[in-house]
Structure 1
Amino acid sequence: MSIIRLHFYFIAFLSFSISHSQSKKYAIHTVAFYNFENLFDTINDPTTHDDEWTPNGAQHWTKEKYEQKLKNLAKVLSEIGTSENTNAPTIIGGSEIENRGVLEDLIKQPALLNIDYGIIHFDSPDKRGIDVALLYQKKYFRPTSFSNIPLYIYKNNTIANEQKNEEIDDEVEVKIENKNRIFTRDQLLITGFLEGEEIHIIVNHWPSRSGGEKKSSPFREAAGNLNRKIIDSLQKINPNAKLLTMGDLNDGPFNRSVKVALGAKAKKSEVAEFGVFNPFEEMANKGMGTIAFRDSWDVFDQIIITESLIKPDFSTFKFWKAGIFTKPYLIQTSGQYKGYPLRHSLTEVGFSDHFPVYVYLIKEMQ
């Protein structure tokens, strides 16, 4: 049997060497997701609950701390996936972002400035004012359309997502929504061309576990259902549509929102036509994690891909492998939370309470 060895060459290229006699070159792109954890500026926005992240707020969030946070995040983003691909990620999904302005400040950091990232961002109805967004390298990815798709969830499940009651007229329905709707992050859908190939991306930050995991699970299941509807609609237009859905799902790979609502499978062999594959379930099985709570790890941050991206034909971009980015500088080295992600505290500007995740897409060069 041939032994396959990987040799990596220039930015965005790799080479497979098979039995010393045959060499194939592949284009490679890193696609990443990172929860930036409270990327707030220092300005008080009267329309959101951001008072904590101001100079006089509970976090004493000063210009100096904000600038250090930007520097820290830029370092991480520039290095995700570089163990296998010397180029920074081509596409980055992000969450816990206050506004477009903080992203503009982020991509101007020295570690990112020369990469020339573009921004796709919408303000969401989240009451804290935190949003999801996409950064992309302009020289490799060209967006053609993007939209923010709202997730409608309600207290006590009075009205399910997209469910209609013909006995309720529009005016009454609006009153019910205003009273009971839980305002959370929209799902950001982007379509574009990665070096000439059309791909779709959904960036997510699903509802939190506030009130308890079991009580709040229906909200994340609704998010998974919405994800599935978006995927289905794109696959109806193009059965071979390539899609990556990524984000902080506030659930692990084994929870109902991911396994049932979205229908993600742990093994490629289990993925049916039009199905989705979750490479992060295997990592969770091995005890790996992106977030820790009470000394228990879970993989809340995931990148899940459609069956069209795992077909064994590399004439077009396909999934190669996935990873969790856990460089030592991202990890607490002492104290009660030793070993956890190094997050912000009143005495130290850290990175995030989540580790970033990433996947590689590769294509054989002709």
Structure 2
Amino acid sequence: MINSLPDYNLYTIAFYNLENLFDIYNTDNVLDRDYTPTGKNKWNKKRYHRKLRLLSRAISLIGHNETGFSPAVIGIAEVENKRVINDLLGKNDLKEKGYEIVHFDSPDERGVDVAFLYRKSVFELLHAESITLLVDNFDGVRDQTRDILLVKGKLQGKLMYFFVNHWPSRREDGDTQYKRIQAANLIHNTIEKIKLETPNPNIVIMGDFNDDPTNTSIKQHLVTEEFYNPYESMFDKGLGSLTYRRKWHLFDQIILTKNLLNADDFTFKDAYVFNPEFLKEWKGKHKGRPFRTYIGPWFQGGYSDHFPVYITLKNKP
């Protein structure tokens, strides 16, 4: 099928969990030893740079069919530090795109963070901060999890706020949903502060929420009356961004305030899961699932265990 011509008044907002994008060096006080040349995964320069090349290609193509460009902004998760992001942006498919980085080190025990990339030709950064999620495990010990990243800026002159998330994971040994509910509540507490400076703000909440659109943390706590989640209807139709315990899930979502649905300037156009064939396993029992870097200890040489997600906004000239 021939793709229709791109609409150059469309802008892509994307999110991508990059699946353990570690450098090859051991870092003190971080559980990253498996991702070193002598570690369990035998993570070396060749494997690292292969992953970077693949991810740079994938990111450059997100939304390209619709807009003619790589994403205007993209939230990313599971990056070890700013160095790996710089290495990613240095690969051929991204190095001429003009991306800038927003990143803070978080207290996650594995050393993985979220970050925000933006094309400086279309997005003006005004403010960024890291919001610490304070949650405890069942035994009362603090869960050293990822911070939430808040970015304020102007997309082609339109003031917007972005929250980039990688919420606490599901575990085999108990229900951790309460942690994700606390994350949702923390976002809304922050939004109330935003409203003090910007009435009726334009807000986009993106991330790997480790919950589906119909789970309690999302449907009852995050998506309040002022928000719209286009991924709920997609999930109802069977679309997913990853497999967990052999089932498809849509943990990766982009949620926006309803004032972006029919705005006079920038307005929501559509939502997607970016799942072209090259991002999928092409044979065997995992056929059709995300083509990942490792399955257990076995190196596969793929992209990520998640598909990216993205929405498009229409600029009405």
CA-CA distance at 1:347 after TM superposition: 3.7
Residues 223 and 229 in structure 2, CA contact (< 8 A), matched pair in contact too = no
Larger displacement relative to structure 2 (29-38 or 224-233): 224-233
Aligned to 1:235: 195
Q: Which residue of 2 aligns with 1:299?
A: 250
**Closer, same or farther in 2 for the Cα pair 1:285/1:86, shift >3 Å?**
same
Shift of 1:240: 2.2
Determine the structure 2 residue equivalent to 1:209. 170
Does residue 245 of the first structure (1) align with residue 196 of the second (2)?
Answer: no
Please give the TM-score of this superposition, normalised by the length of structure 2: 0.95
SS in 1 for 2:67: coil
1:87 paired residue among 39, 57, 69: 69
2:301 is matched with 349
Q: Which residue of structure 1 lines up, in the alignment, with residue 260 of structure 2?
A: 309
Secondary structure of the structure 1 residue equivalent to 2:52: helix
Higher RCO (CA-CA < 8 Å; seq separation 6+):
2
| Structure 2 counterparts to residues 118-157 of structure 1, below 5 A | 118-156=100-138
> 2:316 is aligned with what amino acid?
E
Residue 183 of structure 1 aligns to a residue whose secondary structure is coil
Counterparts of 1:335 and 1:57, CA distance in 2: 28
Task: State the 1:295 CA deviation.
Answer: 3.3
Determine the structure 1 residue equivalent to 2:284.
Answer: 335
Report what 1:56 is aligned to: 38
Larger Rg: 1
Q: Name the SS for the 1:70 alignment partner.
A: helix
Counterpart of 2:300 in structure 1: which amino acid?
E
User: 2:182 maps to which residue?
Assistant: 222
CA deviation after TM superposition for structure 1 residue 116, in Å? 1.0
Pair 1:195 & 2:156 matched = yes
SS in structure 1 at match of 2:86 = helix
Rounded Cα–Cα distance in structure 1 between residues aligned with 2:116 and 2:244: 27
The share of aligned pairs that are identical, in percent, is 39
1:285-317: per-residue Cα shift (whole Å, max 9, x none)? 00000011243111000000012211x23x311
Q: Select between 59-68 and 149-158 the one with higher mean Cα deviation.
A: 149-158
1:319 maps to which residue?
268
> Matches of 1:105 and 1:284 in 2, distance apart?
34
Q: How many equivalent pairs are there?
A: 312
Aligned to 1:18: none
* Secondary structure at 2:18 match in 1: strand
Measure the CA separation in 1 of the matches of 2:199 and 2:215: 27
Code of the aligned partner of 1:320: K
Could you tell me which residue of structure 1 aligns to residue 219 of structure 2? 259
Q: TM-score, normalised by structure 1?
A: 0.82
Mind listing any 5+ residue stretches in structure 1 that lack a counterpart?
1-5, 14-26, 159-179, 265-271
Q: Which amino acid aligns with 1:201?
A: F
